Amino acid sequence: MNKSELFTELYTHYGAVTRARGCFLYTKKGVRITDLYQEGGRAVLGWEGGSAFTIFKNVLSRGQTGSFICEDSPSYRLNKAVSELFASDRIALCFSSQKAALEAGLSLFPDETSLYRPWNSQNPKIKINEMAGLIFAPPLPWAENIFILAADKKRIEDNPDALLFIRNSVKLPFALEAACTKSIHNLIKALQEREEKNWFIYDTVLIKYWNRQGPYLFPKIPENKYKDFALHCLDCGILISPDYNVPSIVPFGADVGVFTKLKNSPFEY
C-alpha cells in the first residue's frame, strides 16, 4: 500500500482533513484521527510545526525569497544546529531524496554512513557522534523532499576536493532553511524531554500488532496482510504508516483511549 492509496481511503472514510494539531487529524465529517504515520517522522513534533513555522512565516514576510545571499555566513545556523544535534562538528548537505543523500554519504564515507532516527539508532552499538555521515529528515511537517547529510566537518576540511564529487545536493530557499534549522533545535529540546515512560503506556494495545523500539512501531503483521490491517486501523480512527518497511510512531501526548476501538475490535492475523 502506498501513501496515496491510504490517504485516498482516509478521504473516502472521513472527508478532507481540515485541521492538524499534535498527533491528530481533524476531518470534514467531524472525526478526529490519531496519526501514527506522522509523515514518516517529519511530524513527530506535532503537525502544527510550532516555532519552526513561525520562523518560516517571518522570513517570508521580510521578502527573503530570492536566490540572493540572506545572511553573512550562509548555512552557518543550519550547520550549527546539526552539529549540536550530533554533538560533533558537522557540515549540513541537503538533498531532495533519501537515495541521493545516501549515495553522497557513501561516496564520502563508504563505511561510516548511517541513517538516523531520533530516539532510535538502528544499531545500538553505533556512537552517533563518531559516525562520519548521518542522514536524517528534519522534523518539519510537509517538507517531504528534504534530507540532510550531516558530514564530519574535519574529514571534509582534510579533503575539500571530496565535495566536488557530490551530486544532486540542493540549496534550500532561505525561508525553508531557517524553518528546518528551528525544527532541529526543537528536536534537540524534545530529545531531552521525551523518554520511555511516554511510549510504553500504550503497549497494552500496541504490542499485539507491533514490536516497539523507543517510539517506533515495527509491524508483527505479515506483510501480505498489512494493507488489510491499515484499513482496519483506519476504521478504528487510526492512521498508520502505509509502507510496511517504514515504522509507525507512538502518538506522543495522546490519551490511551484513542486505541479503544482497536482494542475492542481486534485484527486477527
CA–CA gap between residue 180 and residue 186 (Å, rounded) = 10
CATH superfamily of 3-35+195-264: Aspartate Aminotransferase, domain 1 (3.90.1150.10)
Query: Domains of the chain: which residue ranges?
Result: 3-35+195-264, 50-193
φ/ψ of residue 90, rounded to 5: -135, 155
Average pLDDT over residues 106-131: 82
Read off the pLDDT of residues 156-192 as tens digits, 9 standing for 90 and up. 988 878 777 788 899 999 999 999 999 999 999 999 9
C-beta of residue 180 within 8 angstroms of C-beta of residue 144: no
| pLDDT the model gives residue 166 | 81
Read off the pLDDT of residues 199-248 as tens digits, 9 standing for 90 and up. 999 999 999 999 999 999 999 999 999 999 999 999 999 999 999 999 99
Indicate the residue type of 226: Y
pTM: 0.93
C-beta of residue 176 within 8 angstroms of C-beta of residue 60: no
Cell reading at 14: 472521513
